Amino acid sequence: MSTRRRFLAALGLGALAPDVLLSQEEKQRRSRWDMIFSSHEMQQAELRPDPSSWDNSTITAAWIGHATILINFFGTNIITDPVFSERIGLNILGLMTLGPKRLVAPALKIDELPPIDLILLSHAHLDHLDLASLKKFDKTIPIVMAKNTMDVIDELTWKNAYELDWGEKMTIDEVEIEALQVKHFGWRYPWESDRSQGDWNGRSFSAYLISKNGRTILFGGDTAYQEFFKSVGERKAAIDLAMMPIGAYDPWIFNHCNPEQAVEMANHLGATFIMPIHWGTFIQSDEPTMEPIERFKKALAGTPERLCLEKHGQTWVLPKLDV
């Protein structure tokens, strides 16, 4: 059972039914395998972003769902880990997807997005690198990926795809992107090699530091608690926003940080504001659906102004600084 649990979790197939509808006894009786076929009604996002109204002279970010964030970074439109499919998981002969169904629909559809200038992919997991979604984007958009993951999109014949290793940088549309080390794992399927297994040439997994116009933000991707971000904080760079994962920690704490750890890592960075992501969109673990955001808010109780959002579709704008 433990092997199957780990396999399903690694594919994003953890506890897959909306636990808000189940009693504790029912959750214990219901197998993870049964929950893969959940057919609950998908809710609409509570809020809807309006990118047409966004100001190109600042930083604006909206949570589309899971680890998908739409960012206007001084006029450069960036999207992170774009997942718009109703289900994530194993595609069976192009006929069906075996995996969790969304609890909440994407706050925007792909055809409602503004023209995208840059796509960032943190790693190759099925809930972060969704081929069905990527197929719908213009293949000339620059796409930045973790090291040793580009082969995953070979079938898409992408025109401008780049891999970045930890510590490497590149500039696209005046935006500097630096890949940062995190604590996670990279294999998309269990027969693949990845760096968490000690193979340097295996699939990697990254966060990204993103800079333009003297401002910096961080897309945390997916990570367990780690202290690699301390070295970034020691640079004394003014990080305006850290987009941090806060869910899927029970029982997968060895690969996913809990809300308190997310805040601690953002503090390592010296981030002014924190955007909680990777919770409430898919059920991939055992913690109650709303627990991550409730714990996150408690962790920021002393500085609630640092919390960027708490609802799907919510939009954050960098506050104007006092002159």
pLDDT tens digit string along 240-277?
999 999 999 999 999 999 999 999 999 999 999 999 99
The tokens describing 163, both together, are 């891999």
The tokens describing 66, both together, are 């899971």
- Evaluate whether residue 35 is within a structural domain: no
Could you tell me the residue range of the domain that residue 205 belongs to? 48-85+114-317
Q: Report d(CA 89, CA 101) in Å as an integer.
A: 9
- Evaluate whether residue 148 is within a structural domain: yes
- Evaluate whether residue 29 is within a structural domain: no
- Evaluate whether residue 310 is within a structural domain: yes
Burial grade of 311 (CB within 10 A; 0-12, 13-18, 19 or more): middle
More confident residue, 306 or 2: 306
CB-based contacts of 87, cutoff 8 Å, min separation 6: 97, 99, 100, 101, 102
More confident residue, 176 or 24: 176
> How do beta strands 273-277 and 239-245 pair?
parallel
* Residue 208 CA from chain centroid, whole number: 11
DSSP string, 187-217: -SSTTS-BGGGT-TTSB--EEEEEEETTEEE
Residue 6 pLDDT > 90: no
Query: Mind listing the pLDDT tens digit for each residue in 130-162?
Result: 999 999 999 999 999 999 999 999 999 999 999
- Evaluate whether residue 163 is within a structural domain: yes
- Evaluate whether residue 206 is within a structural domain: yes
Query: How much is the pLDDT for 11?
Result: 41
Q: How far apart are the first and last CA of the chain?
A: 59
When divided into structural domains, the chain yields a total of 1
- Evaluate whether residue 229 is within a structural domain: yes
Which stretch of 22-36, 110-124, 157-171 has the lowest confidence by average pLDDT?
22-36
- Evaluate whether residue 15 is within a structural domain: no
Query: How much is the pLDDT for 321?
Result: 60
Query: How much is the pLDDT for 91?
Result: 77
Give which of 269, 190, 191, 192 is closest to 223, Cα–Cα.
Answer: 269
Q: Domain with 293 in it: what CATH number?
A: 3.60.15.10
